[in-house]
Chains A and B, each alone.
Chain A
Amino acid sequence: EAEVAQSPRYKITEKSQAVAFWCDPISGHATLYWYRQILGQGPELLVQFQDESVVDDSQLPKDRFSAERLKGVDSTLKIQPAELGDSAMYLCASRVLMGTEAFFGQGTRLTVV
């Protein structure tokens, strides 16, 4: 069964350092999302891509966060510099363009110390 792949699964970084997360969506899924889930809360959208284009990045803290999906397939989310408040689970999800449900990867647990 096809899955959304994310790496790394866990990341510990010091504040002010740069960190990057990678996501490979299910093959053929044009829509890709990055969500952030703070412990005890529901996931919140950071950015939505359709193919290589950003559809919604209104909630992305652009002073420190960036996201790209250069070839419309895999995607990278970067934080520079990381802050203590960035500690969270970062989830990637994808769906087919005209599909309904999104499928999630296992997530990357980020701890900023």
Chain B
Amino acid sequence: AQSVAQPEDQVNVAEGNPLTVKCTYSVSGNPYLFWYVQYPNRGLQFLLKYITGDNLVKGSYGFEAEFNKSQTSFHLKKPSALVSDSALYFCAVRDQAGTALIFGKGTTLSVSS
């Protein structure tokens, strides 16, 4: 069965500092991995994805994520956090067979000025 773990409920960083939001996954076969962001009372916005190829993928708003097959991880990163990055972040996985996304429970990112 597919699953996603986001071990941190909340991540706090100061503006201008680098940030990392952690995600590990379990899936049969090669995974499709995604990060989404959610602002209060809004839907989910797609940030980035890993399908194949380079382990470091770049996405919207300066975010990037690193796929590590041996550690089954897909951590979200940004070199310099902004206060406007404060939101709820979800990691998601699915297999290549077209099944639905399985989401983690989410991590709240709080960036202080």
Chain A interface residues toward B at CB < 8 A: 4, 6, 31, 33, 40-45, 48, 50, 55-56, 89, 91, 93, 100-107, 109
Contacts and interface: CB of A to CB of B under 8 A. Distances in A.
Nearest to B4: A42
17 contacts: A4-B43, A41-B106, A43-B90, A43-B101, A44-B103, A45-B101, A48-B100, A91-B44, A93-B101, A100-B32, A100-B49, A102-B101, A104-B36, A104-B45, A104-B46, A107-B41, A107-B43
Contacts of A44: 103
Interface of B: 4, 32, 34, 36, 41-46, 49, 51, 90, 98-106
A11 to B, nearest CB: 13
A109 B41 contact: yes
Contacts of B49: 100-101
Contacts, number: 55
A31 B42 contact: no
Contacts of A48: 99-100
B44 A43 contact: yes
Contact of B106 (A42, A93, A100): A42
